[in-house]
Each structure stands twice: as structure tokens, then as C-alpha cells.
Amino acid sequence: MPAIDLHSHVLPGIDDGPTGQEDSLEMCRRAVADGTGAIAATPHVSPTFRTRSEDVAAGVARLNEVLAERDVPLEVLPGAEIAPALLSLLEDTELARLRLGGGRYLLIEAPLLDVGPELEKAIEDVMSTGHSVLLAHPERAPSFQREPQRLEALVERGALCSITAGSFIGRFGRRVARFTAKLFADGLIHNVASDAHDPVGRTPDLRSCLTAAAADFPGLQAHIDWLIEDVPGAIVAGTEVPSPPQASSSPSSPRRRVSWCR
């Protein structure tokens, strides 16, 4: 089955993703070449980028129209990557319109700077109003790296973790790769997404990244379809997230290696 990428900045000219339509189209073609059939457009909703749900809807409609005209077999889904600081400032109806693929889940950015307990409060508050939470790139969050029990507690309360594919192969450094290995070993990875920003450096590769990493992460191969097909499919459909497959061996820390997906 084709993969579903739940985190990308594929819409042109809306945040720090591609500046023009051709780069956006090239990202889509590359996603298709890697085996992806649907990709969520998740532009930043943050103090820097005050993206609105109507901006996302219009951008998704335009891009899907162009993809159909160019015969690119990819469906673009609506969504957003929401900064925790913005959660309390957005109306509940606006949050509902920013859910991934129209389902129940909000993609909430795990801060890339140190943050205190206000992060947990913001997430718990939004979950208390009926939204489900998928955390974007928690493996890259310094607060979780230093205090992994904070992430474990959020997962126990119902949050899911979406890891960036490049984290498995060293794109963000050894510390992130080691923490990714720990999260996988502890069963705290529920989805893998690309967090793609462009067609060259931050690319929309999923399956090729995980296949490249499988030799260094025993047990990962058996989880690939679950991570990029089954779980995102359930999130978009609004159905129960399926249980992970039983791995034949436990994952270990990755060797000292930086590879590239393709």
C-alpha cells in the first residue's frame, strides 16, 4: 500500500517550505517516487507564521488541482503544525479545521528549544476539549532528550509521537539518532513522517529512509508498514490506531553512521 506522510511543508509560499509551485511539484513527484500516496500539508501555525485554516484549505485545493493537471498521483490532505504557544489563542472551531486530514488529530510541534511544564499544560488542555494529539519530532526536542519521562507521561495520557524519517539515519546528528533509537526501543514511536521542506535538502522520503535505517535498528523492518501506512491511515480515517506488530528482536543503538535515503 502507498504510504501516508502526515507532516510536510509542501504548500508553496505559505511558511518556510517551497517558495514556488515548481519546487512544490517536485516535492510531490519525489514523494510519489518513494511510494507515498498521500501527504498532509502541515504549514506552521506559530508566532512567526500565523497561518489560518482557510489559507491551508485554499492551498491544498490549488495544489491538488495542479497535481491532477500534471498527472502526479498524489493526494494532498489538509493539516497544520501548531506551536504549543498558539493552542490557547485559537478558537476551538479553528483548531478543528486544522486537524490532520479532517480526522481527530492535531499535529503539535515539539519545541526545538528548552521549555517548561507549560508545554504539558497546553497539550493537556487541548486534549481535554476533545482533540487528539500527534507530537511532531519529539526526538529533536531538547526538553524530551533531557527528561524523557516527560514524553512518556504525555504518551500515557494519550498523545502519539511522530518521528522525522531523517532522524533514523543521522540527518539531525548523533544525539537525535541515539534518542530515536531509545524511543523505538521503548515503544514510543507511533508514526514516521518526512517534515519535508524542499525537493533537495529536506525531502519527502519515508520508506527509503526507514529501509536504509533497518540494518541499524533491529526490529524496524517489521514496523515500517505500521509506521507509514497503518497508523497514519487510521489517524486520517478517524479510526482506532492499530497495535504495532510483534518484533522478533529488540532494537539497539544505531552504529556511528550517517546515510541518505536515496
Say what the pLDDT of residue 259 is: 34
Tell whether the model's pLDDT for residue 35 goes beyond 80.
yes
Reported as a single tens digit per residue, the pLDDT across 8-34 is 999 999 999 999 999 999 999 999 999
pLDDT at 230 over 60: yes
The predicted pLDDT at position 262 comes to 41
What is the dotted CATH code of the domain comprising 3-237? Answer: 3.20.20.140
pLDDT for residue 248 is more than 90 = no
Region 233-252 average pLDDT: 80
Q: What is the overall mean pLDDT for the chain? A: 94
Q: Residue range 233-260: average pLDDT?
A: 68
pLDDT in tens, 139-153: 999 999 999 999 999
Binned at pLDDT 50, 70 and 90, residue 246 comes out as confident
Domain ranges of the chain: 3-237
Residue 261 clears pLDDT 60, i.e. is over it? no
Tens-digit pLDDT profile for residues 166-218? 999 999 999 999 999 999 999 999 999 999 999 999 999 999 999 999 999 99
User: What is the secondary structure of the chain as a DSSP string?
Assistant: --EEEEEE--STTSSSS-SSHHHHHHHHHHHHHTTEEEEEE--EESSS-B--HHHHHHHHHHHHHHHHHTT---EEEE--EE-HHHHTTS-HHHHHHTSGGGSSEEEEEPPSS---THHHHHHHHHHHTT-EEEEE-GGG-HHHHH-HHHHHHHHHTT-EEEEEGGGGGTTT-HHHHHHHHHHHHTT---EEE--B-SSSSS----HHHHHHHGGGSTTSGGGHHIIIIIHHHHHHHT-PPPPPPPPSS---PPPS------
